[in-house]
Structure 1
Amino acid sequence: MSVAICSLKWESARTGPQRIAYDRDGYHLVRFPYAEQEEAYDPWKMHDPAHGGAKASKFPDARSGLIWPSHDGWGTLSALVFWEPDGRPTEYRARFVRDPLGLSTGYDSTATTDTEPTRGGQYRSYVWQMFVHPGTPVGLKISARGPGDAKLAAPLLLAEFKLAIQTDVIRPEGDSGGHQGP
C-alpha cells in the first residue's frame, strides 16, 4: 500500500502565541509554520506556501492552515490540540474542513467534535477518514466556547495536523466510485 504523508506542528513555546480569530462559521483555522520543525514532515509539498494564491503565503496568514492533498485517495486526518487551562470555556470544538477558505470547491465541514472541559489540562486528539483530492485543501478548525455560546480566545499551547493518503484505493469492477471517490 502506498501512503503519502504530511505532518504539521505548531507550538506556542517556539513561535509565540497563536492569535485566535473566529471566522463567520464561529471557528478558528489553526495555522502552521512553513519552516521545518521537529516532527514536521512534508516531502510531497502539501503544505507549500505557493499553494492557493497568486503570491506565497506567510505564516500566520489563513493559507498557512491548509494542507493541499498531493494525490487522490483515502485520507486519514488526525489532529492534536492542547489548550491552556484557563477555566473559562465550557466546551471545546474541533472539525476538519474541506476548502475552509473557499479557494476551490467550497466550504465543507465534517467530523465536528464537541467536548466539555476536564478538571486537568485540556488535551484533545481527533481522527477522521474521507476521500481527498489535489486542488481541494483541508484544514483543522477549532473553537472554545463559554456561557451563552460566547466564542472565547482561549490560548493554544500546541497543535498538530496530519494527513496520510492511501493512494491505491481499489474499486470493484463496474463501480464508478461516484463523485467523492478517487
Structure 2
Amino acid sequence: MTVQICSLIVNEPQSIPADGQYHVVRFPFGAGESFDDCNMHQTAQPDGYAVTDWRHDDRSGLIWPAAEGWGSLNALMYWDDGSYSEIRSRFVRDPLDLSTGFDSTCTEDTPSTPGGQYRAKHWELFVHPGTPLALMVKHDAGRSVNLSFAELKLAIHS
C-alpha cells in the first residue's frame, strides 16, 4: 500500500479577525513546508489558479489530494493569549467552493484556559483529487487574535 503525504507548517503569526466567521489557515509554499513530495500544496494549483502571496490568499491553505483514498488529517494550532472564551476549528472539503461544494467535518469548540491555547486534532475521511481540503478556525474575542503556529498534515492510504 502506498501512502502519500503532505505536511504543512507555518511558524509565523496569522491574525484571525474577530468577525464570528471561520477563516482558512494559510501555509507558505516551498522551503517553508516540511514535506510535499506529491505536489499537493503548490502555488500552481490543479484548477489553473496561481497563488502569488500565500499570506493574503486563502488558496495557500488548500491541500489538493494527489489520489483517491482514505485520508488521515492532523492539525496543530497554537493560539496567543486573548480575550476569548471559546476557539473553534474544523476540517473542510472544498472550503472555497471551487469544485464539489463546501463540506465541513470534525468541528470542535473548546473553552479557553489561562494563557495561550494549544490544540491538536485528528480526523479520517475519504479524499478525492479534485476536492481540496483545509483547516479553518475562529474565536469569540472582541478583537483579532493571533494563531501563532499551525501545522496541517494529510496522509492518503490509496
Whether these two folds match at TM > 0.5 is yes
Aligned to 1:47, the other structure's residue is in SS state coil
Q: Greater strand percent: which structure?
A: 2
Q: Indicate yes or no: 2:86 matched with 1:91.
A: yes
2:121 aligned with 1:126, yes or no?
Answer: yes
Deviation at 1:71, TM superposition (A): 0.5
Task: Give 4+ residue runs of structure 1 displaced > 3 Å after superposition.
Answer: 52-55
How far apart, CA to CA, are the structure 2 residues paired with 1:52 and 1:45?
10
Q: Which moved more, 1:133-142 or 1:46-55?
A: 46-55
Q: CA deviation at 1:62?
A: 0.9
1:21 deviates by: 4.6
Please state how far the C-alpha of 1:22 moved relative to its aligned partner: 7.4
Q: 1:164 aligns with which of 131, 155, 158?
A: 155
- Conserved? CA contact 2:91–2:106, under 8 Å: yes
- Which runs of 5 or more structure 1 residues have no equivalent in the other structure? 168-182
TM-score relative to the length of structure 1 = 0.80
Take 1:3 and 1:111, find their aligned partners in 2: how far apart are those partners?
Answer: 22
- Matched position secondary structure for 1:67: coil
**Structure 1 residue 72 corresponds to structure 2 residue 68:** yes
2:80·2:115 contact (CA, 8 Å) conserved in 1? no
Which structure is larger by alpha-carbon Rg, 1 or 2? Answer: 1
TM-score relative to the length of structure 2: 0.91
Q: Paired residue for 1:10? A: 10
Aligned residue pairs: how many? Answer: 156
Identity of aligned residues (%): 50
Judged with a 3 Å threshold, the aligned counterparts in structure 2 of structure 1 residues 106 and 89 are, in CA distance, closer, same or farther, namely same
User: In angstroms, what is the RMSD of aligned CA positions?
Assistant: 1.8
Q: Distance in 1 between matches of 2:116 and 2:17?
A: 22
Give 1:43's aligned residue: 37
